[in-house]
Structure 1
Amino acid sequence: MIRRIILILVILIIAEVYFYQAIKTLTSNSYILSGYWLLNFLLFAGIIGGVLLTRSGRVSQAALTSLLTVFLSVAIPKLAASPIMLIEDFTRLFRGFPPRNIYVSEFAIAFALCIFAIVLFGLTRGKHFYRIRKETLHFPDLPEAFDGFTITQISDIHVGSFTDKKGVEKGVTLANEQQSDLLLFTGDLVNHKASEMDDWIETFAQLNAHYGKYSVLGNHDYGDYIRWENPSAKAINLERLKAIHREMGFRLLLNESVQLEKDGQSIALIGVENWGKGGFHQYGDIRKATSGLSLDSFKVLLSHDPSHWDEVNTNFDQRIHLTLAGHTHGMQLGVELFGFKWSPIQYFYKNWAGLYNQEGKYLYVNRGFGYHGLKGRIGVWPEITVLTLRRSG
């Protein structure tokens, strides 16, 4: 983890140096060049100071998040433009390093401005730029009654980040318009506290599906990332959050399973509490959740953190046909075009967005309905997933 963070910092520094070269090529004005470095220093110092003061409790997490958002909105265009300057340097290597071409520098800066426009869209409208992503999954042992059965999955609502009720309601409407048989939510309803839901219960209670709504908890739902007056206050908060799931019409699965019945046949829906690698709590108990299930039953697992999928597949003696997860948000930042996808999160999570298949056992990682940390989404848009289960011959 530390090595990856150091690598990211090195890349940011290299991008900063190259972008400065483009500016220096276009102007020799000392005030502009000095002002460029001064603004960068103030922003970097603000982030370092914000991190230290946030840990001491003297600055709010929201203030630090705002600083990081400003930093990324400036850094991302520079990162995108720096390869242009790098390519120019590669050609200069074979030409005896002549002065930089002014047109290349102009192009690099113009490209950075275009990327900045995309970033600006992501930080404003992008947070509610919901995308419907559909997948059809085939299983030879799917009960015939469930051939064509549809599931809508949402994940990582993070309601404490929302400020635009109409934008959120648009997402809820889109989810309902899919008219799926089943609606599943894979955790992180709030950022920290159950009270964040006070003005949103009615909104999310509008979600509906013929065979019901089921949910699990995510790592943020336990209140592990803020200070509480005492352990009792934290426990009361968690119980209140569980009650909110019921008030919204969701059946919260806590290391347990239920049978979904259709035309005399059934599939098992399993829900575990949060289980994650890399320092995340491991409250989930897959063995407890599947106790009493027959080995040949068709199983769908809700598990917030996709890192749990590897654990289930390698160290569990029952076949889990389909696992639904979230957690990564696709880092709310990346590129997804024409089948290509990239995000910095892929250097931390092997399975970070979309569909994965391991010997006929599927994992789908939802990119998240809401946002947290970065106040928006850039390139990795909020997602409503629709999965269709088909019986293969």
Structure 2
Amino acid sequence: MAKRLPLIILLWLGTDFYFYQVVQTLVSSGTLLWCYWLIDLLLMAGIVAAIFVQRGSRMQQTLIAWLMGLMLLAFVPRLFSLPVLLVEDITRLFRGFPPRAFWVSELTLAIAAIIFLIVLFGITRGRHFYRVRRETILFPDLPEAFDGFTITQITDVHSGSFTNAAGVQKGLELVNAQQSDVILFTGDLVNNQASEMDRWIPAFAGLKAPMGKFSVLGNHDYGDYIQWESPKAKSTNLARLKEVHSEIGFRLLLDEAITLQKNGQSITLLGVENWGKGGFHQYGDLKKAAAHVPDEAFKILMSHDPSHWEGVTLDHHQHIHLTLSGHTHGMQFGIELFGFKWSPIKYVYKQWAGLYRREGRFLYVNRGFGFLGLKGRIGMWPEVAVITLKQK
């Protein structure tokens, strides 16, 4: 991200200069024109302040969250409205570049206003605008007793970002309303510290599933992104977080496997510690988790980072039928309409949201229950995934 920052700033300022032509066309007040650039100056000052605030501190996290929201409000509406100006400029090129048409500037401003309201909704209400996403996956070797077996998956809670108890409870009630056989949580319970979960333990302990609740760790759960006073303090924090999983009723799988039994038949649930590409730690060990699992067993793997699927799982000597991941959040920003989906995160992760299949093996990437950095979601709404296993 640091390498891309100059490009992001250049794109941001470039759209500002281009959109300024709309403002100049519609506004004659010099004061209002100066206010246009004052917004950019204040945001730049905020970015500088965020760089010098203590890394990982509560103040830095709050400042970054506010900056991300304000930058999106300032940048995204302009970006989506600029194609109108571009089309006009192409026609002006053949007309000797006359002054901009007043109505074109009005249309551009109207589009920007609509996008502004959408972004504003995402920032203010989108963080708890939970959506249930359903997938039915067919397997030829699924044990008959598990035909119709249902999984509710949540991931990336990031409890340290929560402030609205009613909003969180709404999401948890939606999870319980699915009445699935199991609930699986695929990592990032906290942002950095186990104590972030203290006030939320009773709420998450209320999740119910007849065949159990199971979980794995995500990259944020290890406390790798803040400064600790000592290595012991860091290890104590991780130990406490593991206790929290137990207190909310989740069986934490640390490079291990368990068997789920139903009517004399079984499937295997595996869980690995976090393993990711692109600079993320690779703690997880699939070989260790599957060491005592029969080759013929039907296997479901919980692995936080979807890059583990291509990096390790597909090449594993045993057939892993279904992998459940999270991590990407769908970048908390994107477009999903009528089967089309797009987010900038697709240029970082090949598998970033939804269902993927390769050689009879499936991966489902959940868009996440919570949020981090940006205190909201725009287009990529928080997700409760319900997966039904069926015999082919």
- TM-score, normalising length: structure 1: 0.96
In the alignment, structure 1 residue 152 sits paired with structure 2 residue 152: yes
Percent identical among aligned pairs is 60
Equivalent residue, structure 1, for 2:378: 378
Matches within 5 A, 1:264-303: 264-303=264-303
Code of the aligned partner of 1:120: L
Q: CA RMSD in A?
A: 1.6
Tell me, in whole angstroms, the C-alpha distance in 1 between the residues paired with 2:264 and 2:273: 29
Deviation at 1:175, TM superposition (A): 0.6
Equivalent residue, structure 2, for 1:26: 26
Equivalent residue, structure 2, for 1:96: 96
Q: Tell me the SS of whatever aligns to 2:331.
A: helix
Q: Tell me the SS of whatever aligns to 2:270.
A: strand
Deviation at 1:94, TM superposition (A): 2.7
Deviation at 1:16, TM superposition (A): 1.5
Kept in 2, the 8 Å contact 1:257–1:270? The answer is yes
Give CA deviations for 1:295-315 in whole Å, capped at 9, x if unaligned.
121110000001111012443
Deviation at 1:264, TM superposition (A): 1.0
In the alignment, structure 1 residue 248 sits paired with structure 2 residue 226: no
Kept in 1, the 8 Å contact 2:56–2:227? The answer is no
Equivalent residue, structure 2, for 1:179: 179
In the alignment, structure 1 residue 219 sits paired with structure 2 residue 225: no
Between the two proteins, the alignment pairs up a number of residues equal to: 392
Q: Tell me the SS of whatever aligns to 1:133.
A: strand
Gaps of 5+ in 1: none
Equivalent residue, structure 2, for 1:337: 337
Tell me, in whole angstroms, the C-alpha distance in 2 between the residues paired with 1:386 and 1:235: 34
Q: Tell me the SS of whatever aligns to 1:241.
A: helix
Equivalent residue, structure 2, for 1:107: 107
Deviation at 1:54, TM superposition (A): 3.9
Deviation at 1:7, TM superposition (A): 4.2
Code of the aligned partner of 2:92: R
Matches within 5 A, 1:333-372: 333-372=333-372
Give CA deviations for 1:324-347 in whole Å, capped at 9, x if unaligned.
000011111111111111111111
* 1:194 to 1:218, Cα distance in 2 relative to 1, 3 A: same
Q: Tell me the SS of whatever aligns to 2:277.
A: coil
Tell me, in whole angstroms, the C-alpha distance in 1 between the residues paired with 2:91 and 2:203: 57
Give CA deviations for 1:154-208 in whole Å, capped at 9, x if unaligned.
0000111111111111111111110111110000001111111111101001111
Code of the aligned partner of 1:257: A
Kept in 1, the 8 Å contact 2:56–2:225? The answer is no
Tell me, in whole angstroms, the C-alpha distance in 1 between the residues paired with 2:59 and 2:370: 24
Equivalent residue, structure 1, for 2:129: 129
Q: Which moved more, 1:93-102 or 1:262-271?
A: 93-102
Q: Which moved more, 1:104-113 or 1:36-45?
A: 36-45
Tell me, in whole angstroms, the C-alpha distance in 2 between the residues paired with 1:117 and 1:178: 32
Tell me, in whole angstroms, the C-alpha distance in 2 between the residues paired with 1:44 and 1:169: 36
Kept in 1, the 8 Å contact 2:57–2:226? The answer is no
Deviation at 1:141, TM superposition (A): 0.9
* 1:58 to 1:338, Cα distance in 2 relative to 1, 3 A: closer
In the alignment, structure 1 residue 165 sits paired with structure 2 residue 165: yes
Kept in 1, the 8 Å contact 2:155–2:369? The answer is yes
Kept in 2, the 8 Å contact 1:327–1:368? The answer is yes
Tell me, in whole angstroms, the C-alpha distance in 2 between the residues paired with 1:163 and 1:228: 24
Equivalent residue, structure 1, for 2:201: 201
Kept in 1, the 8 Å contact 2:191–2:220? The answer is yes
Tell me, in whole angstroms, the C-alpha distance in 2 between the residues paired with 1:115 and 1:239: 45
Q: Tell me the SS of whatever aligns to 1:267.
A: strand
Matches within 5 A, 1:30-45: 30-45=30-45
* 1:345 to 1:231, Cα distance in 2 relative to 1, 3 A: same
Deviation at 1:11, TM superposition (A): 2.9
Code of the aligned partner of 2:44: F
Q: Which moved more, 1:171-180 or 1:58-67?
A: 58-67
Deviation at 1:380, TM superposition (A): 0.6
* 1:296 to 1:9, Cα distance in 2 relative to 1, 3 A: farther
Kept in 2, the 8 Å contact 1:51–1:64? The answer is no
